[in-house]
Amino acid sequence: MEGAPFPLPKVIYSDQDVLVVDKPAGLLSLPDGYDRSRPYLAGVLMTEFGRLWVVHRLDRDTSGVMVLARSPQAHRALNMQFENRQTAKIYHAIVVGSPTWETTGVDLPLRVDGDRRHRTVVDQEAGKPAFTAIYCLERFSGYTLIEAQPHTGYAHQIRAHLAAVGHPIVGDTLYNRRQVKPDQLMIPGLPRVALHARSLTFYHPTSGERLSFASAYPIDFERAIHQLRRENMSMRNPQKD
């Protein structure tokens, strides 16, 4: 789309049944319920690929791998996989703080749309079982790059779970809950939630072949990591007078 005021998705894979794309941060997965004129993923792609069916979603500010169905039959088959937890999703995020653990599992029940701000909240009584495996990948001064593997698929699950264990995602003002100061929550050059859908694995709806697709870090995410690495190096090797 010439002159489009929004980032365009990159096509990773396409056949007659599925379309796998790298969704940029800033683009909606679904049509906006209040402003139908706002661009969204399938709407941007339909000119080239025709009608598309959304199987799962990423938040507007989240970048990374998404699969869309290109037929009702593929849509049903993929939906069943997501519902039956036959897919594997890996996310990377930059979180505030330095966890005391290298690996942990967050097993806290969640209730979607659980408060006035429509957040997903931990609710021991009315919440549904939710589990996220978390791994520390790289530590910086005041921040950590982590990998999250949600074993359940609730909206905002990773954001809610990370906030619940005291390590909100950089840029996530919705789930910070005053755990950290606003200046700690932001990294210059990364004006969004620092969450990236790194890879997605599923079974092809027609052939049954197990497929796995990955997405490189977008520029803003990559630059933030480089910046944090430079700051680490500066602290370890201070300049001498």
Catalytic residue among 15, 22, 59, 113: 59
User: Is the Cα dihedral 125, 127, 131, 136 positive or negative?
Assistant: negative
Distances (CA, A) of 171 to 30, 90, 103: 22, 20, 23
Element (H, E) at 92: strand 88-96
Is 59 an active-site residue?
yes
Task: Write the single-letter amino acid at 41.
Answer: L
CA 134 to CA 100: how far, in whole Å?
A: 12
Which residues share a beta bridge with 105? 133
Query: How far does CA 216 lie from the centroid of its chain?
Result: 13
Buried residues in 103-125 as b, exposed as e (16+ CB within 10 A): ebebebbbbbebeeeebbbbeee
Which residues share a beta bridge with 110? 122, 128
Parallel/antiparallel/unpaired status of strands 210-214 and 195-203: antiparallel
Which residues are catalytic, by number? 59
